[in-house]
Amino acid sequence: MLHNSARLTQIGLGILLGWILVGAGAASAGSSKDIQDQGKAMVRDAEEMVMHGGMGDGRAIVHHCAEVAKQAQAILKTLPAKDEHGKEAVPHLQDAIKHCARVVEMGDKVDPGASLNPAVKARAAVKEAMKHLMAMKDGGA
């Protein structure tokens, strides 16, 4: 049963990744504060993901990575189209989703050391995205 659940999560992340890479339609832009708060939650999950990887908890790595991907998608949907800092964050958010899709594909039954490499890459992408998101100001500065 877990195998099927992991497979469904993998398919969902694959669809999500494809949707983002093809290009999302215009969505309602969120305030920079809301986007930054979502980004902070994403960073916390990324840190938890890597911490659990170091402790050998494969299930927690997959869980936190799925959360990172979900938060990155939510941010991408609400980024103001004209904000230069937001535009600069997009490829990093997409990278985080891509690396997390790889973690989910590996699943929680692999050696956590194997999933730690893409998890660390996802965390690095999240941190880089946050540098740009924190520079955002309301009004597309």
User: Tell me, what's the pLDDT at 112?
Assistant: 82
Whether 139 is covered by a domain: the verdict is no
Q: Which residue has the higher pLDDT, 91 or 13?
A: 91
Query: For the domain that residue 128 is a member of, what is the CATH number?
Result: 1.20.1420.10
User: Tell me, what's the pLDDT at 71?
Assistant: 97
pLDDT (mean) for 116-125: 95
Q: How many CA atoms lie within 13 A of 139 on its CB side?
A: 1
On whether the CB atoms of residues 93 and 72 are closer than 8 A, the answer is: yes
Whether 140 is covered by a domain: the verdict is no
Count how many domains the chain has.
1
User: Tell me, what's the pLDDT at 8?
Assistant: 47
SS (H, E, C) 70-96: HHHHHHHHHCCCCCHHHHHHHHHHHHH
pLDDT (mean) for 93-122: 92
Cβ atoms < 10 Å from Cβ of 94? 18
Residue 56's domain spans which residues?
2-134
Whether 141 is covered by a domain: the verdict is no
pLDDT (mean) for 89-98: 98
55 pLDDT tier (thresholds 50, 70, 90): confident
Residues in the chain: 141
